[in-house]
Structure 1
Amino acid sequence: MPDIMVIGARGIPGVQGGAEKHAEKVFPLLAERGYSVEVVGIDRHIQQATYRGVKLKGLPTFSVMKSDKVVYNFLAFVYALFKRPKLVHLQGTNAGLFLCLYKLSGHRVVLRYGSSDSEFDKWSGPQRMMIRFCEYQLRFADHVIAVSDKFRTDLTSKKNVRRVDVIPNGIDPIDTAAGAGEFLSSLGLEKNKYILSVGRLTVDKDFERLIDAVGMLANESIKLVIAGGHAEKDYSDKLLALGSERIKFTGLIDRSLLAILYSNSAVYAHCSRHEGLSNAVLEAISYGCPLVVSDIPASLEMPLRPQSYFPVGDATSLAIKLKKALEQPNKFVADIGNFWDWPEVADRTEAIYRTILDQKTAVREFGVTRPN
């Protein structure tokens, strides 16, 4: 019987995605503190039995009419019925598809709300209805963790969720990967001669505007590197057709190679139309990258330099900002001291768990004690 069962992250370690990155960073820290933690993911994304003290379980799934998330969430619920964890942590809105069933079966549930999924452009009508059904159920969770103040406001004022706290994502320690020169050369890149953007190739990332903006730069020696896996085939194929000697798509790459790209880039650009608290932007901050970021609400909450923001969807304004950041990079670098690290995120997450299980219950059931 695990203390904490995590559902909604496809797998760890090294799986691309915000829920997966959060799970990889936070739950090993809780395991180090004596908690029994099990991450229940999808079998093709689980490559080992444990990771840094966290037990990993992969469930089978299949996709018929894009039903893979429904199948996964149902199997995860059934698995939780048999394992009877003391607390279920749902990683994301979609993971709350069966939230009411968890509560009816006696589970204590925390859900992490990392993005306003129903606003994304990529969903079909039935998919959007399913997401809204998930959002409706959030009011029944024991607690909801929002990654931004805007999300907390939306949840309390629009979705009738009463128990919400804000815990942002954390900053990574710098990974000094070897072999930078060789890797950059293999891509035809030079240090400080390219703009970087990281994320899965989805319409909401708005990479097309970024490609347009780079095309407007007079300095044609500056290249664009987009690092991320292919999430939506039709859109990805359309985007990949824009690749050239100047526009590079790396596909999904290992985080050690991402570290090389971050640390050698001239500017990091983030153009999303909808986003939670972007892990990719936080990673760029940790490497001291000059930042140019769309002015969506979640990004505006970050303590970035005012000049780092551009109007979302405006390629011309983006090009102007990129030019200025290339010319005066120090004016576009955020102060890393203004951001949380992952141990702080774990501290706050543990505190939420302990508000659900009062102190006596927490000590008795979890078998660990903490100073007040």
Structure 2
Amino acid sequence: MARYAQELLDALRALDGPKISPVAAWSALSPDRLAERRREIGLELTGLGRRGTSLLWTFLDRPFIESRLNRRIDVVHAVTLGYPVATEKPLVVTIHDLGPLTHPEYFRNTRPWVMRRSLDQAVRKADAIVCVSQATANEVRDIAGPAVDSRLQVVLEGVAERFFVPSDPAVLNQLNLPDAELPFILSAGANSPRKNLRGLLRAMAVAMQEIPHHLVLVGGTGWETSSFEQEIANPVFQGRVHRVGYVSDPQLRALYQSAALYAHPSLYEGFGLPVLEAMASGTPVVVSNRSSLPEVAGTAGRLSNASAPESFAADIVEICTNEAIRKRMIADGKAHAARFRWSDCAQAMANIYGDVSGVAFRQKRMAEQ
């Protein structure tokens, strides 16, 4: 979601369109880093603080965000379904997923009641509800009902141009990677039930009996640490699984481009941006056939049953051992990823801002209410 906010901001500012003012209710950055962000992107803080935002906006719907800023505001865009946003201005809300409400078994410490209050506010007040995939839009429609039909729009995310450009492999020198001559399979995501890294390990335990590839995991430790450690203790993984933790953006690009295959076994995604980033980087992708991932990967990725280790392993082995399939997937993946541009996302959002700020639109919304 942080990448979504930053990429959308940059793309909107590249348009000859609306003037965008990024706003946060609070910040955990150090004073020096916060001052740097203010200079870099013009970030403003409402001054309400984290606790004040939660209490005031969730329960009182006051003070309005526009009253805390020193500029004229025409439209307020909440780029994620976090706290409800108090405003009297036309409101646009982006919903990435409703996982804590629809699949609570995949989430923890997410305070689903906050998401529920935010969703209720969006259904009640938002002039446009933007979903990043059709799968997410379907979830919103299932929960909110037909009241949102006229305001529900799907605006797909994009792939930054830098992922199409060759990276500097030297940025990987400090990471715990296999020897350069050994091929590896890459997967990015925190260790959690939703990301299904345990399922990937089970598939790799099968696949590694047929292919020489190592496995490189990018991301945080998540909250399945003990069971994950039990899986990784399998003797077949001896020296062949490399956990590199969080990486910089240049390192991530280099990892995508160096990998023989990118595996995305997630059981639930609102969108699944790493799938497109890997494709843009010229890497074949095998991806779970669940939630939004089929619409994101399209026919350019190999859709597989990530809940069945043997099936997922078979797809991994076939792609890694069949050069003709690899070449076709690389070409198809690049062409597919090129269809997802942040500039298109930004233009669609700018059009929505213009629509909801129009007098006729506002009068129609007031009549509906």
Name the structure 2 match of 1:7: none
CA shift digits 1:34-71 (9 cap, x unpaired): 61311416523573234754425497967xxxx89947
- Structure 1's 168 and 142: CA in aligned 2 closer, same or farther, altered over 3 A? same
Of 55, 58, 69, 2:43 maps to 55
Mean Cα deviation higher: 296-305 or 246-255? 296-305
SS at match of 2:296: coil
SS at match of 1:36: coil
Report the structure, 1 or 2, having the larger helix content. Answer: 2
Name the structure 2 match of 1:354: 354
Structure (1 or 2) with the larger CA radius of gyration:
2
Name the structure 2 match of 1:8: none
SS at match of 1:204: coil
Separation (CA, whole Å) in 2 of partners of 1:27 and 1:295? 31
Name the structure 1 match of 2:78: 90
Separation (CA, whole Å) in 1 of partners of 2:174 and 2:315? 25
Contact kept in structure 2, 1:43 and 1:60, CA below 8 Å: no
Q: After superposition, where does 1:196-275 map in structure 2 within 5 Å?
A: 196-217=186-207, 218-219=209-210, 221-230=212-221, 232=222, 234-236=223-225, 238-239=227-228, 242=232, 245-275=239-269
Separation (CA, whole Å) in 2 of partners of 1:59 and 1:238? 42
Contact kept in structure 2, 1:45 and 1:58, CA below 8 Å: no
SS at match of 2:279: helix
SS at match of 1:98: coil
CA shift digits 1:227-274 (9 cap, x unpaired): 0124x4x42454356375211111111010011110010110011111
Contact kept in structure 1, 2:202 and 2:309, CA below 8 Å: yes
Separation (CA, whole Å) in 2 of partners of 1:256 and 1:308? 26
Of 15, 28, 40, 1:44 maps to 28
Q: Structure 1 counterpart of 2:140, which letter?
A: L
Unmatched runs of 5 consecutive residues or more in structure 2? 362-369
Of 307, 317, 320, 2:314 maps to 320
Name the structure 2 match of 1:337: 335
Contact kept in structure 2, 1:213 and 1:316, CA below 8 Å: yes
Contact kept in structure 2, 1:149 and 1:166, CA below 8 Å: yes
Structure 1 residue 123: Cα displacement? 3.8
Of 269, 273, 280, 1:279 maps to 273
Mean Cα deviation higher: 340-349 or 73-82? 73-82
- Structure 1's 133 and 23: CA in aligned 2 closer, same or farther, altered over 3 A? same
- Structure 1's 177 and 79: CA in aligned 2 closer, same or farther, altered over 3 A? farther
Q: Structure 1 counterpart of 2:334, which letter?
A: I
Percent identical: 18
Mean Cα deviation higher: 68-77 or 299-308? 68-77
Separation (CA, whole Å) in 2 of partners of 1:360 and 1:60? 33
Structure 1 residue 221: Cα displacement? 2.7
Separation (CA, whole Å) in 1 of partners of 2:175 and 2:250? 16
How many residues are paired up?
332
- Structure 1's 53 and 68: CA in aligned 2 closer, same or farther, altered over 3 A? closer
Separation (CA, whole Å) in 1 of partners of 2:116 and 2:55? 18
Separation (CA, whole Å) in 2 of partners of 1:164 and 1:316? 39
Q: Structure 2 counterpart of 1:314, which letter?
A: A
Structure 1 residue 314: Cα displacement? 1.4
SS at match of 2:200: helix
Q: Structure 2 counterpart of 1:164, which letter?
A: L
CA shift digits 1:116-166 (9 cap, x unpaired): 222332445993344333333331211111111232233234413230111
The 4+ residue runs of structure 1 with deviation greater than 3 A are: 50-54, 56-62, 67-79, 122-126, 179-182, 331-338
- Structure 1's 157 and 185: CA in aligned 2 closer, same or farther, altered over 3 A? closer
Structure 1 residue 222: Cα displacement? 1.0
Contact kept in structure 1, 2:287 and 2:302, CA below 8 Å: yes
Contact kept in structure 2, 1:36 and 1:54, CA below 8 Å: no
Mean Cα deviation higher: 81-90 or 19-28? 81-90
Name the structure 1 match of 2:365: none
1:188 aligns with 2:157: no
Separation (CA, whole Å) in 2 of partners of 1:300 and 1:210? 18
Separation (CA, whole Å) in 2 of partners of 1:72 and 1:222? 53
